[in-house]
Amino acid sequence: MKGRRGFRHIYGFFIILIMITASFSAAYFIVSYIFRLFGFASSNYIQHLVTTVLGFFIFGGTGFIIGKIIRSKQRNLFQEVIDALRRIARGDFNVQLETLKREDPFTTLIDHINHMAKQLKEMEELRQEFISNVSHEIQSPLTSIVGFAQALQYDELTNEERSHYLSIIETESRRLSKLSDNLLKLTSLESEHHPFERKSFRLDKQIRNIILACEPNWVEKELEMDVSLEKVNVVADEDLMSQVWMNLIHNSIKFTPRMGRICIQLEQAAGNAIIKISDTGIGIPKKELVHIFERFYKVDKARERSKGGSGLGLSIVKKIIEMHEGTIFAESEEGQGTTFTITISPL
């Protein structure tokens, strides 16, 4: 950068040198021609003096004209930049200023404005997508609540029908409540203002407690639980980490058919705590695997609806792991099962 600036100074110096030479040469030829034309036979001194004065005029005039052209071009560019900023302020992010070939602070400013407009446009698209996803997630349970509430008004319903409809209304209401809970949690985590308190605790004990808390769910599906947990101490936010295991273990139970197997391992390797949660469930198709941590992403929309998912669980998990500077990745074979591997540094 410094080298380039030095080169520009030398280049400018040469341009001025050429302009001076050209101006004084032009003045010399013009004065000689006029003197010859009108037959003035004045002294060399007068001719040199007139040449010098004319040379200065030509040099000054050319500089003035070139300066004016450059300034008007710059004024145009400034106007374009101001117009672009006005459009951005109005919320129109389809702004792309023409980039300049030269290298100066103005070019850097234009590049930054283009970059800012692009980023704002992406954020706006994400916001729109988020709103449409939330509306959709709210709309479907509400439709079914309204439908079944209306159906309940018929007098000739049997007791079984009535309690079936009521249980659907209850499930859908719970789903709405879970959705708002997850949304609040995710928004809070992403706002960077979420309380984050690291303290030392036994990770193996925490995971074991979550497995026990989920016991009614895996017992009901007659799932085999294969648990092997090394004693590992970590320094992390206990509540947030508990949410991670809760979401992952719940998913494993949810997506594994009856009599399946869930394997949970914790070990310490190369100074890191490594946790693997595998199941023999329905698995995730390869092309979907890259999307599962996105907000609202569900592999099979219709099937997940019946299971009461909102597609936010894994986004929350990923965010928490990132806050702990850890990593998470999933491997899966459709119809065979899925394994989530989480690595976190114990400190």
Contact status, residue 266 vs residue 250, Cβ threshold 8 Å:
no
Residue ranges in 322-341 that form contacts with ligand ADP under rule CB under 6 A: 338
237: contact with ligand ADP by CB under 6 A: no
Extract the runs of DSSP E, i.e. beta strands, from the chain: 198-202, 224-229, 233-237, 261-269, 272-279, 327-333, 337-344
Q: Which residue has the CB atom at the shortest distance from ligand ADP? A: 309
Sheet holding 337-344, edge to edge: 224-229, 261-269, 272-279, 337-344, 327-333
Contact status, residue 268 vs residue 230, Cβ threshold 8 Å:
yes
255: contact with ligand ADP by CB under 6 A: yes
Assign 213 to helix, strand or coil.
helix
Q: Are strands 327-333 and 337-344 parallel, antiparallel or unpaired?
A: antiparallel
Given the rule CB under 6 A, which of 49-57, 99-107, 216-224, 278-286 is the region that contacts ligand ADP? 278-286
279: contact with ligand ADP by CB under 6 A: yes
Binds ligand ADP (CB under 6 A): choice among 55, 141, 260, 281:
281
Extract the runs of DSSP E, i.e. beta strands, from 169-248: 198-202, 224-229, 233-237
Binds ligand ADP (CB under 6 A): choice among 243, 252, 262, 275:
252
137: contact with ligand ADP by CB under 6 A: no
Given the rule CB under 6 A, which of 92-100, 214-222, 277-285, 319-327 is the region that contacts ligand ADP? 277-285
267: contact with ligand ADP by CB under 6 A: no
Given the rule CB under 6 A, which of 52-60, 71-79, 265-273, 313-321 is the region that contacts ligand ADP? 313-321
Given the rule CB under 6 A, which of 59-67, 131-139, 218-226, 296-304 is the region that contacts ligand ADP? 296-304
Contact status, residue 309 vs residue 254, Cβ threshold 8 Å:
yes
274: contact with ligand ADP by CB under 6 A: no
User: What distance in Å separates the CA atoms of residue 173 and residue 144, rounded to the nearest whole number?
Assistant: 10
Contacts with ligand ADP, residue ranges (CB under 6 A): 247, 251-252, 255, 279, 281-284, 292, 297-299, 304, 309-315, 338
